[in-house]
Amino acid sequence: MTDRVIELVITFLGGGLVVAVLDWIRTARSEMRQREILYLQDQLRLLYGPLHMLLAQNEKLMQFGKRIHDAYRAEFFGKKFAESSQQTVDDPAHRTIELANAYGDQVRENNARIMELIEKNWSLVDIEDFDTLSQFQLHHIRMRLEFEQKMIQGITFLVREHLGEITFFDSDFVKRFADKRKAKQERLASLLNPGWWRRRRGP
């Protein structure tokens, strides 16, 4: 309610009734503020906080996995080795690939945890995030069914083309929810300490 509207109410009603109305307005504002605080705290604690943590971890895992692949290419790919030493080379090369794949497996495990977070806390998802998270769920389910359970085997290449690619990591997805978590933390801070935002930004 704007100051002008409040002035009109005071002029129209006058006296003790105005005090009661203003008290009601202040109480209503306080209750709305408290409800928003509690909701933001639940969002950050149960969904957006742990979601950001797992996605940030995935980003680091993917970066490290790429370092291993790059090292593999630098040390083994396209090089010719003497036949007598081929076995000696093959074993470390194979283990390097296994190590890189292990980091990819950890990303998929994190994605399974993200699925649990979404399913358990769907009521805390912002409306504008519904489609993004639903798409993540679809890709995770497809990865599990088509590759982990190998149900894609026997399906022709043309049919696979119609199905489209599966993405189990997306840097834009990571940034989106990093930004969302930060915005919610800043909003919560401004509600808990109304002068915080002005001090942070300066005069």
Domain edges within the chain: 45-189
Specify the pLDDT at position 162: 84
Which of 11-25, 121-135, 155-169 is the most confident on average? 121-135
Specify the pLDDT at position 87: 55
pTM: 0.74
Cα–Cα distance for residue pair 178/48, rounded to 1 Å: 8
Instruction: Tell the burial category of 114 from Cβ atoms under 10 Å away from its Cβ (0-12, 13-18, 19+).
Output: buried
Residue 203 has pLDDT above 50, yes or no: no
DSSP element (H, E) containing 59? helix 49-75
Of 102, 100, 115, 99, the closest CA to residue 55 belongs to 115
Cα atoms found within 13 Å of the Cα of residue 47, Cβ hemisphere only: 20
Q: What's the pLDDT band for 111 if we cut at 50, 70, 90? A: very high
Specify the pLDDT at position 167: 85
CA distances from 158 to 60, 122, 127, 139, 168 (A): 34, 36, 36, 19, 22
Cα atoms found within 13 Å of the Cα of residue 131, Cβ hemisphere only: 1
Which of 21-30, 75-84, 106-115, 167-176 is the most confident on average? 106-115
Largest Cα span, the chain = 102
Of 122, 113, 115, the closest CA to residue 141 belongs to 115
At 156 the three-state DSSP class reads coil
pLDDT digits (tens, 9 = 90+) for 172-195: 999 999 999 999 999 999 999 876
Residue 26 has pLDDT above 70, yes or no: no
pLDDT digits (tens, 9 = 90+) for 58-90: 999 999 999 988 888 887 766 665 555 555 556
Specify the pLDDT at position 85: 53
Residue 200 has pLDDT above 80, yes or no: no
Q: What percent of the chain has pLDDT over 70?
A: 75
